């Protein structure tokens, strides 16, 4: 697309080695920043649908291969729901069936829900992967979007009879129940069973919902407005010593300072979108003792001042 890849990586705080390690977990905040930077360079309403149309099952890694070797579409989507944490901690998916209607839905991270193209990409990717698995065109009854109807978008998901609904609580594809019975063309129950056992092992090895990093993020979120969070205060809140907390975070591949920086960086761009908030007030909301510290940090993240960033967006 003619966009500087290294610049995109840098804006999201990603290094080459983060992307080359197949077992690495990229923070959702980095994914959000990638979308924001990309849309500054190419603010196209159809971008998400375009990306989704060229997303294939193999690109979903282990989950993609699990889906490819399922017996039918119900089994494939069921595995996507069951193992969605392998793709991202941000998603919680569901597959429900009521009479003649089946609904595949998920709850994306709130920051992604504010980026229509990111939601479009995920919806379009699911449609494209389903069509790839079943070698047949999919025409959902409805597609639910968790944002207002966008202006200027020309591309359309689904067929001529697919109804688009906006301002919904969560993104979803509403299908005819009979679509779930579609056979998957490359089904292999033996290989699928082996991959499912492997997926269970990988899932069990992921940090739990009560991991030190998740608990630390939650504590940092609560403490930001009360001033600069410190390792000692957060450790005390989590009922452990500072050295113990640092050790557990290190075992999970992160640190207290990295988590604090990630949270501030993600919140800063969101808060700057609210033009009723003065920049100095945003600095205090992020827990900085002085606005100048926020200015220096923001210049390091975005290479511009907070005021310049706000004017240009």
Structure tokens at 170: 């969560």
Q: At what angle do helices 28-41 and 256-272 cross, to 10 degrees?
A: 40
SS3 at position 218: helix
Sequence-distant (≥ 6) Cβ neighbours of residue 219 within 8 angstroms: 229, 234, 237, 238
Q: How many CB atoms lie within 10 A of CB 272?
A: 18
Nearest Cα neighbor of 298 from 75, 3, 11 is 11
Q: What is the pLDDT of residue 111?
A: 78
For the entire predicted model, the pTM comes to: 0.72
> CA 228 from chain center: how many Å?
27
d(CA 113, CA 145): 9
**Whole-number Cα distances in Å, 8 to 31, 67, 122:** 10, 31, 20
Confirm if 309 and 272 have CB atoms less than 8 A apart: yes
- Tens of pLDDT along the chain (313 residues)? 888 888 888 878 788 887 887 777 787 878 888 898 899 889 999 999 999 999 999 999 899 999 999 999 999 999 999 999 888 876 789 999 999 999 999 988 877 888 999 999 999 999 999 999 999 999 999 999 999 998 888 989 999 999 999 999 999 999 999 999 999 999 999 999 989 998 998 888 776 655 788 888 878 887 876 777 899 999 988 888 999 899 888 877 789 998 998 888 888 887 888 788 899 989 988 888 889 999 999 999 888 999 998 888 7
d(CA 300, CA 268): 13
Q: What is the pLDDT of residue 217?
A: 83
Instruction: Return the domain boundaries, the chain.
Output: 1-43, 51-205, 212-311
The CATH number of 212-311 is: 1.10.10.60
Nearest Cα neighbor of 312 from 52, 40, 113, 27 is 40
E strand map for the chain: 93-98, 101-106, 142-144, 163-165, 172-176
Q: What is the pLDDT of residue 25?
A: 77
Phi-psi region of 274 (alpha: psi -120 to 50; beta: other; left: phi over 0): beta
Q: What's the per-residue H, E or C state across 149-201?
A: CCCCCCCCCCCCCCEEECCCCCCEEEEEHHHHHCECCCCCHHHHHHHHHHHHH
d(CA 177, CA 197): 28
Q: What is the pLDDT of residue 24?
A: 73
């Amino acid at each position: 697309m003619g966009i500087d890849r290294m610049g995109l990586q840098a804006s999201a705080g990603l290094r080459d080695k983060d992307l080359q390690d197949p077992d690495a977990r990229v923070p959702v905040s980095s994914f959000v920043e990638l979308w924001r930077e990309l849309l500054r360079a190419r603010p196209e309403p159809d971008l998400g649908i375009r990306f989704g149309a060229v997303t294939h099952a193999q690109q979903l890694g282990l989950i993609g291969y699990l889906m490819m070797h399922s017996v039918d579409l119900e089994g494939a989507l069921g595995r996507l729901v069951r193992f969605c944490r392998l793709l991202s901690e941000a998603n919680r998916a569901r597959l429900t069936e009521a009479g003649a209607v089946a609904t595949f839905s998920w709850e994306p991270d709130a920051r992604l829900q504010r980026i229509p193209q990111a939601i479009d990409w995920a919806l379009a990717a699911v449609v494209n992967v389903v069509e790839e698995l079943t070698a047949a065109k999919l025409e959902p009854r409805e597609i639910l979007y968790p944002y207002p109807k966008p202006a200027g978008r020309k591309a359309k998901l689904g067929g001529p009879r697919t109804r688009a609904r906006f301002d919904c609580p969560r993104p979803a594809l509403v299908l005819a129940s009979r679509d779930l019975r579609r056979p998957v063309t490359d089904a292999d129950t033996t290989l699928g069973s082996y991959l499912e056992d492997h997926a269970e092992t990988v899932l069990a090895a992921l940090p739990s919902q009560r991991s030190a990093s998740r608990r630390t993020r939650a504590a940092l979120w609560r403490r930001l407005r009360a001033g600069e969070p410190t390792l000692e205060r957060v450790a005390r809140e989590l009922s452990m010593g500072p050295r113990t907390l640092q050790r557990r975070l290190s075992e999970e591949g992160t640190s207290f300072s990295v988590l604090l920086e990630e949270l501030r960086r993600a919140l800063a761009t969101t808060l700057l979108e609210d033009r009723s908030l003065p920049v100095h007030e945003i600095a205090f909301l992020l827990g900085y003792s002085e606005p100048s510290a926020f200015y220096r940090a923001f210049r390091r993240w975005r290479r511009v001042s907070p005021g310049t960033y706000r004017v240009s967006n």
